[in-house]
A and B are shown apart, each in its own frame.
Chain A
Amino acid sequence: MSKKTIVEFSRYPLSFGAIFLQIFLMVLMFMFAVFAFSSPTQALDSFEDTSLSGWAEDPFSHVGEGEFHHILTGPYGEEPSMAIFLNLTDPAHGYGVEKNPEGVSDWTAFKQIEVSLYMSNGTTAGVSIQLRGDSALNETWWESDIVGFGGGQDTLVFNITDFGGENRTLESVDSLSIRFQNADNGTVAYLTQVDMVLTPQGTKLAGVMMYGFVIFIFLSFILWEVGFSIREEQFRGTLESLYLSPANKFSNLISRVFAIFMWIAVIASIALVVVSNIAGGLPLNNIALAFLILFLTVSGILGMAFFIAGLTIRIKESAALLVNFLQFFFMIFCAAFFPFRALPSVVVDYVSRWIPVSYGVDAFRSVLIGFPKGYPELLPFEIEMVVVVLFGILSPLLGYLYYVHSEKKARIQGTLSEY
């Protein structure tokens, strides 16, 4: 790797930072948008609208060891107004065997949900638990019996099997909500945010977004730096002189790419740490395998960029437009910042599944977030790996061949320095 190229980048911090910042700001905007869609504040607000307002003067005092708890706070870390503690109980192993449901791999073991609620003294309510089944299976809602709930801290236990029969396990549960009722059994309020705890959303969603972001930032940089820099050099007139120099023109391109990789790695790590702090920790599993997938995917993207570089020699000033377009194209159709299920299934079947990068994105984040239910989304993991490996090996070869071909053609036609 050429030291010169690295130095060159540090001389132009803005151009380098620009691409990164753009994407980072975009992701940040999407995160804020997500907040607008699923803000827990509305759950709290609806409490305040009822006679149940004024709860929880000191909700933290009841957070004990061995309890899996979820504390409702405002979306941006405001003071909590109530706390909910959930314990998943495995009858075979006793209470609190698994302290951290994030690490649960076998959901079938859990037969009970224990709900601890804190309410200020003097308030009473009927509490029931609602479970929502797997949306993919078109399951409906199940609701438990209503249990009376007194003031202070109280714990309620519900059996999973009470809802949907003996075969019902937590694995088939997408979301859980708690319903509060008054004496006349009229609904007072729902807490719908509990699902963020039980399903691969919550920090896992942050994982999906951020790990997608990592691949996308590689993709973006490579497209601009490899695909587009050719065009820029054509414009500046340096391309022709580069060809005149005896140095291998391809090694010039490669050394540049390696310098970029180094920078992306540094910056992406910083971004991950920052977001991890905001989101309260990102899931992180099997890093070695994830790196392998990243490496192969990036190698495949590099091949695509060679192809585009070849194309930009021909299409000249439309190149910026093409790269711009491709950036958005991949952002959406490879579901870089969201799960594939956010896309209409027609789009997934007819577009996303035909782009190899999609499998890289899916496999990479599925590994890192620990294969929660529903991930990987496109194909079984083993088959996705086959696609990723083939992409990583074939794409650079084909891309390079096309690049050399179109370069040769340009030299025959003498259009190398034309713009």
Chain B
Amino acid sequence: MTAKTVHKNLGLSEMSWRSSLGVTKTVLIARFKIVLRYKGAIVFDMILPVILAALPILLGVAIAGQAAAQNFKDATGTENYKLYMLIGASTFIVVTLMLWLVGYWIRREMETGTLESVYASPAKRVEVLSGVTLYALIRSLMAFAFAMVVGSLIFQVDLFQGELALALVFVVIGIIPLWGISFAFGALILKVKEADSLIQVMQWVVAFFMGIFFPITVFPPFLRFVALSFPPTWMTNGVRASLLDVAYFFGTWYFDLAVLLAFAAVLPLVGYTVFLKTESRIKKNEGVGQF
């Protein structure tokens, strides 16, 4: 195949690994600049888990009084119900942020009209996506860490117990499959008219199943199965088990971590494939920028 037109130049474009990194970095920085200009958005991320955790804690104390800790220990294995709730709520914010920031990304760029401009540029999808992913990762880890610290001060619980390093490993590994899920979900919401409502509901369905306030062992078998097929459930329980006297699903930390690793190995691939499929579907049908 020979070119049927003249070739002049590529303007100022210089394709190199440095400029590829530049794309990722620029996207990352731009995202942070944008969110920082929405007053209070980041602070809300960090405060929300504390508020969420406060509710069941207050409720539990109201119901069980002085027996709260003992009853809770009987039900979950730990009497530290405050930290238990705080971990659940902080993990939840990670899940929510990934859903919104990664899953809703294409849709949001479509709504603002910027997707077309991004797609008309020579930057590779992977480079732009890396920027978006890094942004989501940093923001959700920040929210997680901050919520845990502030929450531990407010509820007066000690974070430095159990195996903190292992807990962090569970958080980091747990985010990887979330990325994949978010993309698959992102593809789904492109087809739905009321995408933001769907995400709103989804985040609470997820919250319900991942057991942010209670052990999933209270579920009947079928619901338990649904909950266990969802990586954030393993992530939450892993963090709890490594910090508190909560049991791992498979008895030991390395089995649970292995399950999470398996999710981490498979789901991003699934997510990325779905993403590419979605992209080509859009380009075939309505075209980038329409929805």
Contact = CB atoms under 8 A, between A and B. Distances in A.
A/B: CB atoms within 8 Å of each other: yes
Contacts of B48: 328
Contacts of B201: 14, 17-18, 21-22
Nearest to A42: B74
Interface centre among A25, A26, A33 (most CB of B within 10 A): A33
A318 B62 contact: no
Contact of B40 (A21, A76, A321): A321
A41 B38 contact: no
Interface in A34-49: 34-39, 41-42, 45
Contacts, number: 128
Interface stretch (A79-87, A179-187, A332-340, A401-409): A332-340
Contacts of A41: 74-75
Contacts of B269: none
Contact of A29 (B51, B67, B214): B214
A307 to B, nearest CB: 19
Given A37-B68, A325-B44, A342 B197 contact: no
A411 B48 CA distance: 35
Interface string A1-33: 000000000001011011101100110111011
A33 B62 contact: no
A337 B213 CA distance: 15
Contacts of A32: 213-214, 218
Interface residues of B, number: 44
A42 B73 CA distance: 10
A interface residue count range (under 10 / 10 to 19 / 20 to 34 / 35 or more): 35 or more
Contact of A338 (B40, B59, B197): B59
B215 interface: yes
Nearest to B212: A29
B36 interface: no
Chain A interface SS verdict (over half): helix
Interface in A296-318: 317-318
Contact of A36 (B55, B193, B197, B213): B213
B73 to A, nearest CB: 9
Interface string A192-235: 10000000010001000000000000000000000000000000
A77 to B, nearest CB: 10
A135 interface: yes
B198 interface: yes
Contact of A342 (B51, B61, B67, B193): B61
A37 B85 CA distance: 12
Contacts of B65: 135
Contact of A192 (B41, B55, B67): B67
Contacts of A238: none
B71 A38 contact: yes
Interface string A105-144: 0000000000000000000000000000001000000000
B262 interface: no
A13 to B, nearest CB: 8
Closest 9 CB pairs of A and B: A342-B62, A42-B74, A18-B197, A33-B56, A37-B60, A33-B213, A14-B194, A25-B204, A32-B214
